[in-house]
C-alpha cells in the first residue's frame, strides 16, 4: 500500500524517463547541427563542390530552418506535437542516411533540406513537456539546452575523427544517433492539450516566400553587394510577401500564426532579446574559428591553431554553455526572470568587449570566448523557457517556434554583418582580413548584446494573482438565514 511519502515517486520516475527520451532527440539535433560544417572543406574536392557550392549547402540548411520552424510548430499545435515530432525525426533520419550512403553534391543538397526539420524538435518537445510534466518545465528546458550545446561540439569532434582516413566516413556520424532518436520519439507520449483547426495554405505560401527571400538577402547580400539589383529585388519581395502574409492572417478565420500572438508584449520582448543575443554568440562562431586559425606570422594576429585544437576550443565554449544552462533555473528562482535575461545579455557584451581589449594572448582570448559560451547557455535556456510560458498551453509549440526563428534570424544577420565588416577590411592583394575587421565585428556584437540587455530590463513577468479578501462575518439577526 502506498504512503503519502512514496506516492510522488512514480511521477518523478515517469518525468525522468520523459526527459531522458527528449534528451536523446535533442542529442540528435545537436549532432546534426555540428557534424557537417567541419566536413565540407574536405568533402568539397571529393564531391566536386567549389567554395561557392559548399556555401550553397550551408545556405540551403538556413533556408530549411527558416521555412520549417513556423510550419512544423503550427502543425504540431494543430494536429499533435508527437505526430509532427515523429515526422520531423523521420525526415532527419532519412536525410542523414541519404547523405552517408550515397554521398554526392545532389544528395547533400537534398539531405540538408530534410535535416532542416530538426528545427521543429525543440518547439514540439516543449509542447509535450509543458503538458505532461509542467513541474519539470524549467529544469527540463535547461537540461535539453545543455544537451544540445554539448552535442553540437561533440558532433564536430566525432565527425573529424571519422573523416581522418576518408572525408565521406564522417557523414555517418549522424545516422546511428538519428535512428536512436527516432526510437525515442516513438516512446514519447503526446501532449494532452486540445488540438484542432485548419492549416492555412495561402498564409503558409506567403510566409515561405517571404522568409526564403529574407534569408537569401541576409546570407548573400555581402557577396552580391548590399545595393545590387538581386539584393534589393529580393529585399522588396521579402517585404511585400511578409506584409501580404500579415494582411491575410488578420482576416483569416484559421490563421497560420495568430497576429495577436505577435502582439504579446512579453513574447515580443523575449524574441527580440533572443535575436540580439544570437546575433553575436552564434553569428560570430564561424569568424571565431577563423581568428583562432589565423597565423600571427602571416596575418599579424590570431592563435595559429589547427582544426583539432579549434574543435577543442569550440567544445570548451559549449561546455561553458551547458554550465550556464544548468544554472539558469536556480538563478531565476533566486534573482527573477528579468535579472537572468539581463545577465545573459551582459555576459555576452562583456565577452565581446574583452575580445576587443584582450585578444593578444591565447589565455585571455579563451577566457573571453568561454564567457560568450556561458552567455549562450543562459540566453538559450531562459529565452526558450519564457517563450513557452507567456502563452496558453495550446500555443506553446508555435510560441517557442517564433523564438527559434528569432534565434535563427539573429544568427544569420550577425554572420552577414560580420561578413560585411570582413569584406570592408580585406586586403585585396593577400586576401587577409585586417585586424580592424575583427575589432569592428567584436564591437558590433557587444553593442547588440547591450541592446538585448536593455530589452531584457523591459520584461515584466505575469503579476501574481491577488487573493480575494476574506468575507467578513455578517451579524445574524433573528429571522435571517445565511446563503
- Is residue 379 in some structural domain? yes
Judge if 150 and 277 occupy the same domain: no
Who's near 438: CB < 8 A, 6+ residues apart? 287, 291, 301, 355, 359
Q: pLDDT digits over 392-432, tens only? A: 767 777 788 788 888 888 887 888 788 778 877 877 666 67
Identify the CATH number of the domain in which residue 96 sits.
Answer: 1.20.1250.20
Minimal CA–CA distance to 416: which of 315, 321, 278?
A: 278
Judge if 243 and 274 occupy the same domain: no
Judge if 387 and 286 occupy the same domain: yes
- Is residue 306 in some structural domain? yes
pLDDT at 307: 67
Mean pLDDT computed over 242-246: 88
Residue with cell 520552424: 69
Distance of CA 433 to the CA centre of its chain: 29
Judge if 168 and 301 occupy the same domain: no
Question: Rounded distance, CA 412 to CA 430, Å?
Answer: 27
Tell me the torsion sign for CA atoms 160, 164, 168, 173.
Answer: negative
Judge if 229 and 269 occupy the same domain: no
Query: Residue 186 pLDDT > 70, yes or no?
Result: yes
Query: Residue 72 pLDDT > 80, yes or no?
Result: yes
Q: What is the pTM of this model?
A: 0.78
- Is residue 224 in some structural domain? yes
Contact 266, 386 (CB under 8 A): yes
Judge if 68 and 213 occupy the same domain: no
Domain that residue 353 falls in: 257-460
- Is residue 227 in some structural domain? yes
Q: How many domains does the chain have?
A: 3
Query: Residue 164 pLDDT > 60, yes or no?
Result: yes
Contact 345, 280 (CB under 8 A): no
Question: Rounded distance, CA 405 to CA 408, Å?
Answer: 5
Mean pLDDT computed over 113-120: 90
- Is residue 396 in some structural domain? yes
Q: Per this entry, what is the length of the chain? A: 483
Judge if 175 and 282 occupy the same domain: no
Mean pLDDT in the chain? 82
Contact 245, 210 (CB under 8 A): yes
Question: Rounded distance, CA 379 to CA 349, Å?
Answer: 12
Give the lowest-confidence range in 19-23, 145-149, 408-412: 408-412
Distance of CA 122 to the CA centre of its chain: 9
Who's near 349: CB < 8 A, 6+ residues apart? 446, 447, 449, 450, 453
Question: Rounded distance, CA 114 to CA 92, Å?
Answer: 6
> What Å distances lie between residue 233 and 221, 238, 288, CA to CA?
11, 9, 32
Mean pLDDT computed over 298-323: 83
- Is residue 473 in some structural domain? no
| Domain termination site, one of 165, 191, 217 | 191
Q: What distance, in Å, lies between the first and last C-alpha atoms of the chain?
A: 42
Contact 456, 449 (CB under 8 A): no
Please indicate whether residue 256 or residue 265 has the higher confidence score (pLDDT). 265
Question: Rounded distance, CA 460 to CA 266, Å?
Answer: 7
Please indicate whether residue 246 or residue 89 has the higher confidence score (pLDDT). 89
- Is residue 335 in some structural domain? yes
pLDDT at 470: 47
Query: Residue 145 pLDDT > 50, yes or no?
Result: yes
Return the C-alpha torsion angle 111, 105, 210, 34, nearest 10.
50
Who's near 68: CB < 8 A, 6+ residues apart? 116, 117, 119, 120
Mean pLDDT computed over 21-25: 92
Judge if 219 and 121 occupy the same domain: no
Q: pLDDT digits over 375-401, tens only? A: 999 998 998 888 888 777 677 777 887
pLDDT at 429: 63
- Is residue 370 in some structural domain? yes
Judge if 108 and 212 occupy the same domain: no
Mean pLDDT computed over 269-291: 87
Minimal CA–CA distance to 380: which of 150, 32, 142?
A: 142
Judge if 37 and 141 occupy the same domain: yes
Judge if 246 and 261 occupy the same domain: no
Judge if 268 and 414 occupy the same domain: yes
Amino acid at each position: 500500500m502506498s504512503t503519502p511519502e512514496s506516492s510522488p515517486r512514480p511521477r518523478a520516475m515517469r518525468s525522468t524517463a520523459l526527459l531522458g527520451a527528449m534528451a536523446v532527440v535533442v542529442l540528435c539535433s545537436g549532432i546534426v547541427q555540428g557534424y557537417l560544417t567541419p566536413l565540407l572543406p574536405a568533402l568539397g574536392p571529393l564531391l566536386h563542390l567549389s567554395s561557392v557550392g559548399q556555401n550553397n549547402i550551408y545556405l540551403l540548411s538556413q533556408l530549411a530552418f527558416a521555412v520549417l520552424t513556423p510550419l512544423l510548430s503550427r502543425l504540431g499545435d494543430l494536429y499533435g506535437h508527437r505526430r509532427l515530432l515523429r515526422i520531423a525525426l523521420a525526415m532527419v533520419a532519412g536525410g542523414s542516411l541519404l547523405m552517408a550512403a550515397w554521398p554526392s553534391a545532389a544528395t547533400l543538397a537534398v539531405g540538408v533540406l530534410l535535416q532542416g526539420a530538426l528545427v521543429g524538435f525543440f518547439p514540439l518537445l516543449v509542447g509535450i513537456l509543458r503538458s505532461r510534466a509542467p513541474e519539470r518545465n524549467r529544469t527540463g528546458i535547461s537540461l535539453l539546452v545543455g544537451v544540445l550545446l554539448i552535442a553540437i561540439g561533440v558532433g564536430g569532434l566525432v565527425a573529424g575523427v571519422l573523416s581522418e582516413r576518408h572525408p565521406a566516413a564522417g557523414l555517418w556520424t549522424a545516422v546511428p544517433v538519428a535512428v536512436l532518436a527516432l526510437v525515442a520519439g516513438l516512446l514519447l507520449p503526446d501532449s494532452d492539450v486540445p488540438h484542432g483547426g485548419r492549416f492555412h495554405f495561402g498564409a503558409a505560401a506567403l510566409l515561405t516566400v517571404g522568409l526564403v527571400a529574407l534569408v537569401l538577402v541576409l546570407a548573400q547580400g555581402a557577396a552580391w553587394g548590399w545595393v545590387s539589383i538581386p539584393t534589393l529585388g529580393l529585399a522588396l519581395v521579402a517585404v511585400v510577401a511578409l506584409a501580404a502574409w500579415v494582411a491575410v492572417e488578420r482576416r483569416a478565420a484559421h490563421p497560420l500564426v495568430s497576429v495577436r500572438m505577435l502582439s504579446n508584449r512579453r513574447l515580443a520582448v523575449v524574441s527580440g532579446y533572443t535575436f540580439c543575443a544570437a546575433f553575436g554568440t552564434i553569428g560570430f562562431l564561424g569568424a571565431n574559428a577563423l581568428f583562432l586559425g589565423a597565423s600571427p606570422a602571416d596575418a599579424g594576429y590570431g592563435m595559429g591553431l589547427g582544426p583539432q585544437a579549434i574543435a577543442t576550443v569550440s567544445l570548451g565554449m559549449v561546455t561553458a554553455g551547458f554550465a550556464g544552462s544548468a544554472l539558469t533555473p536556480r538563478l531565476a528562482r533566486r534573482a527573477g526572470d528579468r535579472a537572468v535575461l539581463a545577465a545573459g545579455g551582459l555576459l555576452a557584451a562583456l565577452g565581446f568587449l574583452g575580445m576587443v581589449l584582450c585578444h593578444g594572448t591565447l589565455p585571455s582570448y579563451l577566457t573571453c570566448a568561454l564567457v560568450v559560451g556561458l552567455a549562450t547557455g543562459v540566453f538559450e535556456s531562459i529565452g526558450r523557457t519564457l517563450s513557452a510560458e507567456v502563452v496558453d498551453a495550446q500555443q506553446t509549440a508555435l510560441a517557442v517556434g517564433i523564438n527559434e526563428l528569432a534565434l535563427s534570424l539573429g544568427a544569420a544577420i550577425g554572420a552577414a554583418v560580420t561578413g560585411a565588416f570582413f569584406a570592408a577590411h580585406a586586403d585585396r592583394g593577400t586576401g587577409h582580413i585586417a585586424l580592424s575587421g575583427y575589432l569592428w565585428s567584436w564591437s558590433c556584437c557587444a553593442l547588440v548584446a547591450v541592446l538585448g540587455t536593455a530589452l531584457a530590463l523591459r520584461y515584466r513577468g505575469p503579476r501574481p494573482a491577488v487573493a480575494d479578501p476574506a468575507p467578513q462575518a455578517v451579524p445574524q439577526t433573528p429571522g435571517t438565514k445565511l446563503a
